[in-house]
Amino acid sequence: MHEFGPVDLLARLLSGLALVLGTYNPYAMSYFHWITEHSGNVSAKILVGVLLLILHVVAILSSMRSLGLIGIGLLTATFASGAWVLIENGLLHVEDPRVFTFTLLVILACVYASGLSWSHLRNRLSGQVDSTDVTFNSPV
């Protein structure tokens, strides 16, 4: 059985960033900007929109199931506080509305990645075994 590691967490973070920033970003290179153009293939825009919706629903439901509403709130507050520390130390400049929006979207992607990874992280931290690990690794 593959053990969850830093590469897996990074893959989930990059996937979350691709999903969130591919749906909308303030730099006009996203699905939102593509569909607001009044040209192009409407059926392709609808197909991509449905696929993005499915991926967002999977990320949201996975996060809700693994973290719960309170966990998502606490995690969002943690990431937002981290951004605040970066702002106060002059490492992040959010005077530009695009940078501020981008920061919020990165926080959302981090919440998605955490929600998709939380059960693996919890198992590693606590030493508990997931029922699928027991079932598939059973000597019987």
Encode pLDDT of 16-52 as tens digits.
999 999 999 999 999 999 999 988 899 999 999 999 9
The dihedrals phi and psi of 2, each to the nearest 5 degrees, come to -70, 130
Closest alpha carbon to 115 in 23, 25, 15: 15
- 140: Cα separation from own chain's centroid: 38
Residue 134 has pLDDT above 60, yes or no: no
Specify the pLDDT at position 30.
96
Q: Across residues 113-121, what is the average pLDDT? A: 85
Q: Across residues 79-89, what is the average pLDDT? A: 97
Specify the pLDDT at position 129.
66
Specify the pLDDT at position 9.
87
Could you tell me the two tokens for 54?
A: 């499915």
Packing angle of the helix pair 97-126, 6-23 (nearest 10 deg): 150
Residue 133 has pLDDT above 60, yes or no: no
Between the alpha carbon of residue 64 and those of residues 23, 44, 58, 68, 117, the distances in Å are 20, 30, 10, 5, 12
| pTM summary value | 0.82
Which of 7-16, 62-71, 90-99, 128-137 is predicted least confidently? 128-137
Query: In angstroms, rounded to a whole number, what is the distance separating the alpha carbons of residues 65 and 140?
Result: 31
Specify the pLDDT at position 34.
95
- The residue extents of the domains of the chain are 6-131
